[in-house]
Amino acid sequence: MRTPIIAGNWKMHKTVGEAVETCRKLEEVVTDSPVEVVVCAPFTSLSALSALGMEKVQLGAQNMFYADQGAYTGEISGQMLVDTGCSYVILGHSERREIFGEDDELINKKVLKALELGLRPILCVGETLSQRKAGETEEVVVSQTAKALSGVAAEQLPQVVIAYEPIWAIGTGENSTPEDANRVIGLIRSKLAELYDGELAGQVRIQYGGSVKPENIAGFMQQPEIDGALVGGASLAVEDFAAIIDYQR
Ligand code: PGA
């Protein structure tokens, strides 16, 4: 059985004070549930959030660089994230790929470094609207997955979380249907089975992301292949994110 994982991606939102207030409230309102909860906050808030000593919420970052240290002005290393108490790091988010020009090769280096440090990557894959219209969804997500995981050892694979995020559904209010997300996630899992084996592929948690809200989370979670969600906009307000986490109630 895969433990569901629901992660909030705050993107470039919240000052340290706002982040602390949000997580304090979240710890109060989230019920003890079998769902693993992660908040991926901006770098500036991570130390303060870690100092809260949260029990129900784990910490994640939204990016990192692959080098250990050195002359990389403006970058943050994986070790720095471990040092601030992060357990997870989002890698290859479509905004990093599209706005900051990250390619599969760079994302692969980051995935390998994160795993080496014991940080669990939340690897994002997903197609654009034009790729979807051209019938290329499968090819795109399967290729992004395989390239990002190149060199990942079998014993490391279960540490990886994959987030299938169709780009046309991110921040648009336009969500994929649960059935279609389930189908694409099934294709990703089949690729993992081909690259590794069926048993390992069955251990990897694969989330859906893209306009997930309190009103639509249950539909996604009912699907057999979907193991959680990566939530952007709706993770910023405590009430909404808590309702998503407590989707079974
Ligand atoms: P959204 O973002 O929930 O606001 O669509 C999801 C994401 O980018 O991870």
Centroid of ligand 1 to alpha carbon of 70 (angstroms):
32
Residues catalogued as catalytic:
93, 165
**170 close to ligand 1 (CB < 6 Angstrom):** yes
Is residue 34 over pLDDT 90?
Answer: no
pLDDT class of 174 with cuts at 50, 70, 90 = confident
Centroid of ligand 1 to alpha carbon of 177 (angstroms):
15
Query: How far is CA 156 from each of CA 23, 57, 111, 210, 228, rounded to the nearest angstrom?
Result: 30, 23, 11, 27, 20
Centroid of ligand 1 to alpha carbon of 197 (angstroms):
30
Q: State the DSSP code for 30.
A: S
Q: What is the pLDDT of residue 233?
A: 97
Q: What range does the domain containing 88 cover?
A: 5-245
Helix, strand, or coil here: 124? strand
Q: Which atom of ligand 1 is nearest to the CA of 213?
A: 3
The residue-averaged pLDDT of 131-151 equals 97
The residue-averaged pLDDT of 152-173 equals 95
The residue-averaged pLDDT of 107-136 equals 97
Centroid of ligand 1 to alpha carbon of 71 (angstroms):
32
Number of compact structural domains in the chain: 1
pLDDT class of 1 with cuts at 50, 70, 90 = confident
**211 close to ligand 1 (CB < 6 Angstrom):** yes
Q: What is the pLDDT of residue 91?
A: 98
Q: What is the CATH number of the domain that holds 169?
A: 3.20.20.70
Query: How far is CA 149 from each of CA 112, 124, 188, rounded to the nearest angstrom?
Result: 8, 12, 12
**217 close to ligand 1 (CB < 6 Angstrom):** no
Query: Which residue's CA is the nearest one to ligand 1's atom 1?
Result: 232
For ligand 1, mutation pick of 212, 235, 244 (most atoms within 8 Å of CB): 212
Share of the chain above pLDDT 70, in %: 100
